[in-house]
Structure formats: structure tokens, C-alpha cells
Copies of this chain bind each other. A is one copy, B any other.
């Protein structure tokens, strides 16, 4: 295993990845470069520097990637109204390719020949990290300690720490939860523990980003989101950068009990898994984007998007962000967004995101035609007869030939 000289590790500063630093040094006799990113997980990243130094790391990268994350990953995905399996807003999935990209950039800068991460061998994240990495640098080596080592229980891990003098307080606050959690600007997730029984209701104190609908204010909050080319650009009339927009919507959503999800999903590696998620801002953005599309998007463009969406969401879930097929779908989606401009008015109330208004200079809603009142000839109702007759023709011919459509 001496063929690895330098490895870039996605380093959180927590206990697990700190153990990985040491394990990599020991096992591969290689130099470790740490990379810690602020993608909005809600924890300070700067403390990771001292921890890495204490572990003997000499090249330490700490980046604030929040704007890039929302602008180049979250926003393009929301143009697609992406939802995985009818429920999941892909909060973890969409953060992984950015990490993979940055790992590879750092590998290129530092001359590293490998990357490493702290994802387990049962999950989707290993796939997302590694597919992204291989797609961007095909010769890169990948070290996935959880697939290799024997530190598979808390006990063996702690013993390893004691033996190697890894300060156990690296574990940090996060680990006091009985759940495996992960967060970034789009969401926080919870897995494991009691959630492994799908009939068990998550207890209230698990949730961290939102109040419960019960605890949310008794009066609604109204907001207006302005869209440009399919992306949210203003909130209540004020221009906000992508990361600021999402941060603000997270606060608004969380305060109003919005964005909790409890579901069983199908992992790419083949098993079902229970997950709970809080996606307050994303939940608002999804409804708002559909609402602005509802008045600005052509019908068939909208339907085509809807038919492509599950496939697009699956690609992102499975880790294929950096793939030709994701780029093809993105090209189709982006082609549709040029007129997705305007304002959506929303009411936030105790877990509900209610669309109460939408307007746009590019609206295709034509009151003159849609009206129940006299439309002054804008639409000739007699056209409908021919429309129906010809659409029915194939069905009538079939019926004439004796075919029944009753089961």
C-alpha cells in the first residue's frame, strides 16, 4: 500500500474524520491534506485548522463554498423541480459533487494521488463522492476507510483514539444525538437509531432546524419571492445572493414549522433506508418555483420537464452530477427557463407553504381567453368540436371495429 504518497481528505474536524487522518498516515504512510468546507452545515469550520495541525497535517484547506454551492448546484437543480421518489428534496445528494470537485482541485494543486472521505460502505455518499472524483480525474485513487478498516464499532474506534492519542473531544457536540446527522445549507438529515423502525415516530427533540407546526406562530408570514430565469433573486423586493436567499428562507421556513420530512427511500446501493429531513428553504423554493412556472411556462415544456424530472432527480441522487446525461437534461431544463420571471406571493403558516399569488411580465395566463365572462371573440368555442372530433377519431375507428375500452 506504499503506492499512495499524498491523499486529500474531506475533513469535518469531527472525531471520525480525525481518526481517518491518523489511520491514513499509519496505514498508507502518506501525507494527508485536509479539506474542510463551509457549505452551510451550521458549524464553524475554522476550528478544523487547529485540529488538523494537531494531527500533523501540513496542507490545510478551509473554504467557504456557500455561494458556489447554492448558485451552481442548488439553483440549477431547483429549476428542474427535482424530487426523488415523490418526497425527498435531495439535500445531501446535491452537496456531494461540489465536495468531490473541490477534493480533485486540491489534489491537482497539491500533487496528491488520492482522495479519501468518511462515508460508509452502505450509503449513497461514497458513490457520489467517488463518481464525481473519477469523472473529474479518472486516474485518482480513492481510499474509503469505512470499507477497509476494522474500526467498525464505537469501542474499537475509541480504543484506536486512545492508542494514538487522538483527543476524544474532537467528537464535538453533534455526536450527542443518537442519530447520524448531516447538514448543509439545503437541509439537515437524520438516520439510524430508533428511525430504523419505520413505524416509530420521530420524537420532537430530534429536529434541529425547525420548530414543530404546533410551536410555530399563530399568525401567518407572507413573503414574495422574485424570479429571474428560473432562479430566486429577490425576497420581498430585496435582491439577495443565492446563499443569503437560502439562508433567509431556511430561517423563515424553520420559524414556521416548514420543511420536515419523514420517509423511507431506496438507496443506490440497493437497500431501503429511513431518513428524516428538514429542508425549510428548499420546501418554500420548490413550491414557489412551480408557481412562477405555472404562469410563465408553456404547457408542453412544463409537461416535458415533469416527465424528465424523476430521471434527473435519480441521476443526482445516484451521484451522476458530473455526467453527460445530467448535462443533457440540464440543457433541456435551462432552455425552458428564459421566461421564468416574476413574483410569487406565499403564505407560511404552521408547516404550510401556501401559494396565494403569482404575477409576471412574461405571464402566459391570458385573462381575455380564460375568462368565464364574454371573451369578445378571443376564443372560438366552435373550434373545440373539431378538436375533440379529430382527437377521438382513432378511438371511434377502434370502437367501430369492435374494440371495447371497458376492462
Contact = CB atoms under 8 A, between A and B. Distances in A.
Interface of A: 81, 85-87, 101, 120-122, 126-127, 130-131, 134-139, 142, 144, 146-147, 152-153, 180, 191-193, 196-202, 213-214, 218, 220, 260, 262-266, 269-274, 290-291, 294-295, 298-307, 309-311, 314, 320, 322-325, 327-329, 331-336, 339, 345, 347, 349-352, 354-359, 362-367, 369-372, 374-375, 379-401, 403-407
B126 A405 contact: no
Given A263-B355, A364-B394, A392-B134, A273 B370 contact: yes
A374 B270 contact: no
A121 B393 CA distance: 14
Given A120-B372, A270-B391, 20 more contacts: A121-B379, A127-B388, A147-B382, A147-B385, A196-B370, A198-B363, A213-B350, A263-B291, A263-B355, A266-B394, A269-B393, A271-B394, A272-B365, A298-B325, A303-B325, A306-B310, A307-B307, A327-B405, A350-B352, A383-B389
A378 to B, nearest CB: 9
A271 B369 contact: yes
Q: State the copy count for this chain.
A: 4
A81 B122 CA distance: 29
Nearest to A81: B86
15 contacts: A85-B302, A138-B400, A201-B347, A213-B350, A262-B356, A300-B320, A304-B311, A324-B398, A332-B332, A351-B352, A364-B397, A384-B386, A385-B386, A386-B389, A387-B391
B131 A388 contact: yes
A216 B224 CA distance: 25
Contact of A299 (B191, B389, B394): B394
A195 to B, nearest CB: 9
Contacts of A272: 294-295, 299, 364-366, 370
Contacts of A380: 386, 389
A152 to B, nearest CB: 6
Residue in A199, A301, A331, A336 whose Cβ sees the most chain B Cβ within 10 Å: A199
A223 to B, nearest CB: 13
Contacts of A393: 269-271, 369, 379
A295 B198 CA distance: 8
Contact of A387 (B193, B196, B386): B386
A135 B396 contact: yes
A406 B322 contact: yes
Nearest to A405: B322
A332 B308 CA distance: 11
Nearest to A305: B328
A355 to B, nearest CB: 6
A301 B381 CA distance: 29
Given A130-B392, A387-B391, A311 B300 contact: no
Contact of A263 (B120, B262, B294, B406): B294
Nearest to A384: B121
Nearest to A216: B350
Residue in A101, A359, A369, A371 whose Cβ sees the most chain B Cβ within 10 Å: A369
A308 to B, nearest CB: 9
A405 to B, nearest CB: 4
Given A127-B388, A302-B85, A329-B332, A367 B399 contact: no
Contact of A366 (B144, B201, B366, B397): B397
A380 B121 CA distance: 8
A264 B365 contact: yes
A358 B199 contact: yes
Residue in A144, A272, A400 whose Cβ sees the most chain B Cβ within 10 Å: A272
